[in-house]
A and B are shown apart, each in its own frame.
Chain A
Amino acid sequence: MLFLQPMKKRLSLKIALGFFTAFQCSFAQVFIPENKQQILEKIDVNYDFQVDLLEGKYKSKIKKEYKKRKELIVEAFLDSTFIFDNKYSNFITSIVGEVKVKNPTINQTEDLIFMNRHLDPNASCFGNNTFMFNLGLFHFLENEDEFAFIVCHELAHQYLNHVNESVKIRVEKLNSKEYKRKIRDARLTIYGRNKAGMKLLKELSYGFLKNSRVKEYEADSLGLIFFQKTKYNASASYKALSRLKTFDDGIFNTNIKIDSIFNFNEYKFKNYWLEEEETLFDIEEKVDDLKWWEKDSIKTHPDIENRIKKLKSSVSKASNNSVSFEDLKAYAFKDQINTLLYFNQLDLAFYLLLEKIQQGNTSDFLITKLAQALQKTYITKSEHIFGERIPQSSPFATEKNLNALRTFLHNLEIKDVRKIGFYFCQEYANKIKSEEFTQINQFFTKLNQ
């Protein structure tokens, strides 16, 4: 926030990342900040502002859609989806500041920006000056420049009023005479009514989603114009997308050698922990005779390949090098691990920790967190809630490495976790003296007495 103080006056620019003041240590993440009420009020203000701008035939119907949107944001906020930390707010605030200063045509009204705790590299514009960036972006992007392009892309969506436009188009279409007639006809169908209804639903959805893909190209183009006016390296735009393209083949690409990490002299690894189960069918993918939806037609976004091509051809300037991003990336990694453990998303936590440990990194943090992941596995299994948090393995999983890890975690008996936890802690007991690790070690020691 400090970074923006001088500009705030000049540009009336305020970025709300929870208006959270105290720096949070990595073990005490804040999901509902002290200024909760203030944020809720801000969400209301944004909603009222958008509603005031409404006019025309379908005003009340669009208002209803805006209300649903507001409720969705509030629900996500109260459901601890967002994480509040000055490190992230300062980082994004500085990017937004840079973009808005260099692009004065962008609406300078107050934005509400949330950091979502999820691991996937995702960002969203809600259309009411509200944005969301996922923590996972720090894991997948390489530098601040790439992150800045994502910010520009989202600001372009807002600038072009894409979301509100989509709501308007949808409401108008659904309330048009033509569609009302189609709905009535489908409803009056005696034979094959469900098919007629699904056909109509399909027609509507495909149309809306096609429109959405067009809007993504527009946001890329305008986002690039904003981006090229900033201090950031323009090539980061297509590099960010290229990086995401590589994730098309899977995000969890490291083969985790579970059998060597959890193999102890006193408690040998058992091969059946990795055994997959027999399935009903010998098929590579789901067989669906009804096929209501076609994969390509329900994409909200166009192919990344095409977007990269377009951006590459538009980039005219090679500019500054990126600022240091590594510290924040490392900080976000710790935050991710703590968040995953806090919400018992143990499969993802195990994967990220084991991936680093396998590379030879045995820092106190990684070892302590892996011990904690084992402890949480023991506790959730004993309380019979492990299955609620960790998805079962699937024969059609595209993320093979994560799937194998899930198979392993589900196959472990509670007595195995007790032993593995104990011998793992013993291996590092002389090296790590932190209170957190000592407590986990004591936990497993007591269980094994």
Chain B
Amino acid sequence: MRKLLYVLLFVGTYVVSAQTKTIENMVEFKVKNTGAFLDDANDVDGYYFFYEVDKLKKGMREFAVNILDKNLNDVAIKKFEASKKIVLADNAFNNEAIMFALFNNKEKTLTLKGFDRKANPKDDIVITLDKKVARLFNNGLRAGTLSSVLHPVKNKGFILITPNFDGKGTGYVLDFYPSNENVSPWKYEFIPSERGFHSVTPVALNDKFVVLVDVRTKGMSAKREFTTIVLNSQTGEKLFEKVYDKNDPKLITNSFISEDGKISVMGQYYEPNAKIAKAQSLGLYTEQYDEKGEVVFSKRISWQEDVSKFLPVKKNNKLKDIGYIFFHDIIKTQSGEYYGIGEQYKKTVSALGVASGILAAAGGGIQAGGYTQLTIKDVYIFKFDKDFNLADVQVFEKGKSRIQNLTDFGSPQLSAYMIKALGGFDFVYSQRDVKRDRFYANFIDYERASDKKEKKGEKRKAGFVFKTIIQDGGELTVDNIELSKESKNFRVLPAKVGYILLLEYSRKKKSSSLRLEKLNIK
């Protein structure tokens, strides 16, 4: 639909479009990475294709990044030369600049390559990595398990998180790189004095605070120790920390910074000395701190006293006929309400596991996997009022998913954590639409043919469905998108808020195409 198409093709003669295949086949660009620029609300700001353009002398390559906006418009192609050894480790966009983190295992460096709002390149920042850190990066990138290292701070800069091996355990370093001249760089270093592995995730960021959740694990232990650390985002100075140790174990899932400068954390609480990854929680909780770390509000919602008003809770905090609920996210709306997004799960015996166990035994072998499985079913949305009182629980039906447990030992909670780490739950991601005060909780569901509504002239066919639960104006509605139809298959990728990016594969034409589709609020 471009203008050129209309005017220049006017009274055109037919032109054979193909040049020789020989030349076309000779020109080949290798796509090395593709991905999306995501903000802290999981909103997509754009996409990129990172590819190798040409081979140059002395082990160098010409690379290019093709950047698309959130509507898939091709907006920029930026080229640069670099060593053939570089691997794209992470990317971020902070509303002022785009930043790519390029890892070179041979030289043990991480190069931050940025582009400003005019698409002009910024000066490269080259960071030399410690041998152990480089190994961790390399292993993580090879296995695809490297977590996000580059975090955008809107209109300020980027925080780079790297591990630190200087102490007894594994700590971390946060380096802040400004994206404009009005902000200064800073560094925050954590060197543990005890053994254990500390991983850190920024859960809330603004121009005043950086809220970090530090999780300490030790070997194979199911023990998890959570700490909330609040830094001054202008200087990197630690303002306070809250340690949820064995006397008060807590699992932190979310954090918010309110307009009045208060910091809220949310999650689940446990009995003293409980091992978080193993035990059933006592309930959900929230705490609010002022900038000195003083608790200004605290509230607990227990399974026994509060949830039992909505769902049948047994003495051991297990839900009758339901099992357990795994909370993936807790979302605070602009109007001040909270929503906990959970999925029902149970530990059950696996018919497949038992059968393969018998076969393995008959053959004189030992079965590698477990005899048990995690059965995942409906979505549970817990709604809380402004004071974190449980106001409602809504259940959304979903087909059963069965995931074989890696081990039969341990509690259902431990299995759930393992399955969560492997991406085995049906929950995909959630998105917040801050402007319209909505949220979208996305799941992959499997619908049986018998569960489907009959449509005229269409056969009911079992298949995967992308299920979105949308909160709009306090109401929850569902939108379903079938992921396999006739001769087409679909994959859902993240998109700008309120949309999904559909990768459509036509089995008939053997071709793929991408398009954005809006999620429907009915």
Contact = CB atoms under 8 A, between A and B. Distances in A.
Interface of A: 65, 68-69, 120-127, 136, 150, 153-154, 157, 162-163, 166-167, 170, 174, 183, 186-187, 190-195, 197-198, 200-201, 204-205, 208, 212, 215-216, 219, 244, 247-248, 250-251, 272, 277-283, 286-290, 299-301, 304, 381-382, 384-388, 391-396, 398-399, 402, 410, 413-415
Interface stretch (B63-71, B316-324, B350-358, B359-367): B63-71
A123 B521 contact: no
25 contacts: A68-B16, A122-B6, A183-B20, A194-B53, A212-B15, A248-B7, A279-B70, A280-B70, A280-B93, A281-B67, A281-B75, A282-B117, A282-B118, A283-B75, A283-B118, A286-B75, A286-B76, A286-B77, A300-B12, A301-B9, A387-B515, A391-B1, A396-B75, A399-B1, A414-B522
B290 interface: no
A277 B19 CA distance: 39
A162 B14 CA distance: 9
A122 B9 contact: yes
Contacts of A123: 10-12
Interface string B355-396: 000000000000000000000000000000000000000000
B45 interface: yes
Contacts of A136: 6
Interface in B481-510: 481, 496, 499, 502
Contacts of A391: 1
B474 to A, nearest CB: 15
Nearest to B80: A289
A193 B54 CA distance: 7
A283 B98 CA distance: 14
B245 interface: no
Nearest to B3: A398
Nearest to A180: B22
A186 B117 contact: no
B310 interface: no
A23 B62 CA distance: 61
Contacts of B349: none
A289 to B, nearest CB: 4
Contacts of B499: 387
A424 to B, nearest CB: 20
Given A162-B13, A192-B56, A290-B79, A279 B69 contact: yes
Contacts of B20: 174, 183
B315 interface: no
B421 interface: no
Nearest to A279: B69
B75 A289 contact: no
B71 A290 contact: no
B303 interface: no
Given A197-B23, A212-B13, A299-B8, A394 B53 contact: no
Contacts of B18: 68
A387 B46 CA distance: 17
B3 A251 contact: yes
Contact of A280 (B2, B22, B28, B37): B37
Interface of B is mostly: mixed
Contact of B14 (A163, A244, A247, A384): A163
B191 to A, nearest CB: 37
B429 interface: no
A286 B24 CA distance: 24
B7 A244 contact: yes
Nearest to A291: B77
Contacts, number: 212
Given A283-B119, A384-B481, A124 B79 contact: no
Given A154-B11, A277-B71, A301-B10, 7 more contacts: A123-B10, A166-B16, A167-B16, A280-B98, A384-B517, A385-B517, A387-B499
A120 B6 contact: yes
B50 to A, nearest CB: 14
Contacts of B57: 191
Contacts of A153: 11
B452 to A, nearest CB: 15
Nearest to B499: A387
Given A387-B515, A399-B3, A125 B76 contact: no
Contact of B12 (A69, A287, A301): A301
A166 B18 CA distance: 13
B292 to A, nearest CB: 35
Closest 9 A/B residue pairs (Cβ)? A392-B71, A197-B27, A287-B119, A289-B79, A287-B76, A126-B14, A282-B117, A120-B6, A414-B520
Nearest to A407: B71
Contacts of B118: 281-283
B132 interface: no
B42 to A, nearest CB: 16
B56 to A, nearest CB: 6
Contacts of A190: 55
Contacts of A186: 23, 26
Interface in B74-125: 74-79, 93, 95, 98, 117-119
A121 B10 contact: yes
A248 B2 CA distance: 11
B518 interface: yes
Contacts of A301: 8-12
B3 A183 contact: no
Contacts of B93: 280
Contacts of A289: 64, 77-79
Nearest to B115: A281
Among A154, A195, A391, A394: residue with most chain B CB under 10 A:
A394
B5 interface: yes
Contacts of B2: 398
B73 interface: yes
Contact of A191 (B9, B54, B69, B117): B54
B67 A280 contact: yes
